[in-house]
Amino acid sequence: MDILLKEIEELTEKIKVNPGDKKYYSDRAILHNKTDRFDLAMEDYDEIIKMDSKDHNAYYKRACEWYNWKVYYLDEIPDKKETKKNTIDYLEKAVSIKEEFKYYYRIAEIYFNLLEENELALEICKKALKTGKKTVDLYKLLGQVYNELGDYDKAVQSFEDALKLGEDSDVYFFRGITLCNLAMEVTNFDEAESLYNKAINDYDRAINLDTENIILYFKKAELLYEVFGESKEAIKTYKEILKLDSENEEVCIKTAKLYAELGDNQKQEFYYIEALKINSNNLEANESLADYYHENNKYEKALTYINKAIELNSDENWLQLAQGECYCELKEYDKALEVYDTILKNQNNEQAYDYRGDVYVALQQYDKAIGDYLKFIKLKPDAPGVYYRLGLAYKKNGEYIKAMESLNKATQLLPNNKKISDLINEIREVIN
């Protein structure tokens, strides 16, 4: 770097002595490019254009340096007006002076990638072809343009033309995408399956040429799972990504979800935990582990992830109900009541009444339990389980007639239920 900066200083001194020498500006612009000072390179090309308005290469270079500065270095997506002013306008000036392949290609590329004007990109690609020069990059760009325009057959043909000139990972990748688009359009199942298989083959070829491109693995895994239902093969592909990027939380989540579908709870748990090691604030992982531990009656562990998910402002309503249930199972009744009270302040939630009733039963506050169960029944009169719990609360409160009425209703909704029958018999013995 120090050598380059010294060379820039030397050229600056030469420019002071000979300010009209284009070569000094051109040489300094090249050095500015090497030091990532694309903005200064732009200024040098502007000076060259002032000296020679017919220097087509200076217009081309000036447009390229603006792209390097704004898009590559600053990582910005400028508005279309600014983009056109600093790229297309300069490139069109260059091509008006001299028609060259690289000028047309660059214009088409900017129309497609930055301005999203696909029809114009197609028009310019065709002009580039008329110059007689054919490259992998041009056919690759042409294929992408046709794909975006929905002309998938021409897109595939363009990618095949590119591959005739040489193998290219991106070409296989983009052709794979286009083949998937074609498959979604056809009505014949066998034809669609054939196209999807060709897409898989293209993704594999792309991966063989570019083994560290994570996007390729993502596309392959998605296709394996979403189209072919090959969960195990998709998992293998996601694991290839994790070899390249062990801290990819998105892949950990996707892998965990696939293991969950396969019923492999241990590996599901492992990959969700791996995701949280990468980012403890991953909401989906916290929610999923909360659900997993809650469903498996591991209430302390469940609470850890439930509380975190709630802290992260999860919009999953079941979390608060599960939180209260966990506290109840752990005999932390005051905390359980606090949770259910909070829920019921904000909404008339029948489950919260039901669960709070259970807490009151545990606390032997039977009048309050009965009140909550009755509120639940008013909202959901055909739920059989609550009539049993209401009957139990009446029994413990010494209200045997009401207990029998509630249990008879439970029997109507759940005939031949031994648990209900046993409680009815107990009450009959007490009454008699």
Query: What's the pLDDT score for residue 1?
Result: 78
pLDDT band for position 73 (cuts 50, 70, 90)? confident
132: left (phi over 0), alpha (psi -120 to 50) or beta: left
Residue from 291, 267, 286 nearest 276 by CA: 286
pLDDT of residue 128: 97
Residue 358 has pLDDT above 90, yes or no: yes
The 8-class DSSP code of residue 115 comes to: S
**How many CB atoms lie under 10 A from the CB of residue 377?**
19
pLDDT-derived band at 346, boundaries 50, 70, 90:
confident
The C-alpha atoms of residue 357 and residue 377 are separated, in whole angstroms, by: 12
How far apart CA 412 and CA 394 sit, in angstroms, is 18
Nearest to 139 by CA among 155, 150, 123, 124: 155
| Residue 42: per-residue pLDDT | 94
Condensed to tens digits (0 to 9), the pLDDT of residues 143-168 reads: 999 999 999 999 999 999 999 999 99
- Residue 373, C-beta contacts closer than 8 angstroms, at least 6 positions apart: 353, 354, 357, 386, 389, 390, 393
Q: How many CB atoms are located within 10 Å of the residue 37 CB? A: 21
Q: Which amino acid is at 411?
A: T
DSSP 73: I
Residue 398: the pLDDT is 94
Q: How far is CA 175 from CA 33, 51, 129, in A?
A: 34, 46, 20
Give the whole-angstrom CA distance, residue 3 versus residue 160: 45
pLDDT tens digits, one per residue of 262-286: 999 999 999 999 999 999 999 999 9
pLDDT tens sequence across 308-339: 999 998 888 899 999 999 999 999 999 999 99
> CA torsion sign, 68 to 71 to 76 to 77?
positive
Q: Decide: 11 and 28 in contact? Cβ < 8 Å.
A: yes
Tokens of 353: 């009444």
pLDDT at 74: 87
Amino acid 287: pLDDT = 96
Instruction: Indicate whether 365 pLDDT > 80.
Output: yes
Query: Residues 11-61: pLDDT tens digits?
Result: 999 999 999 999 999 999 999 999 999 999 999 999 999 999 999 999 999
**pLDDT computed for residue 268 by the predictor:** 97
Amino acid found at 238: Y
How far is the C-alpha of 40 from the C-alpha of 100, rounded, in Å?
A: 26
CA distance 184 to 199: 12
Percent of the chain with pLDDT over 70: 100
Q: What was the pLDDT predicted at 189?
A: 94
What would the two tokens of residue 64 be?
């390229």
Q: pLDDT at position 392, please?
A: 95
Helix then strand then coil, % of the chain, to nearest 5: 80, 0, 20
Mean pLDDT of the chain: 95
The arithmetic mean of pLDDT across residues 97-111, rounded, is 97
Query: Which domains does the chain show, CATH number per domain?
Result: 1-117 (1.25.40.10), 383-432 (1.25.40.10)
Alpha helices in 296-417 (DSSP H): 299-311, 318-329, 333-346, 350-362, 366-379, 384-396, 400-413
CB-based burial, 89-121: b 16+ in 10 Å, e otherwise? ebbbbbbebeebbbbbbbbbbbbbebbebbebb
Q: For 137-151, 157-171, 202-216, 410-424, which range has the lowest pLDDT when averaged over its residues?
A: 410-424
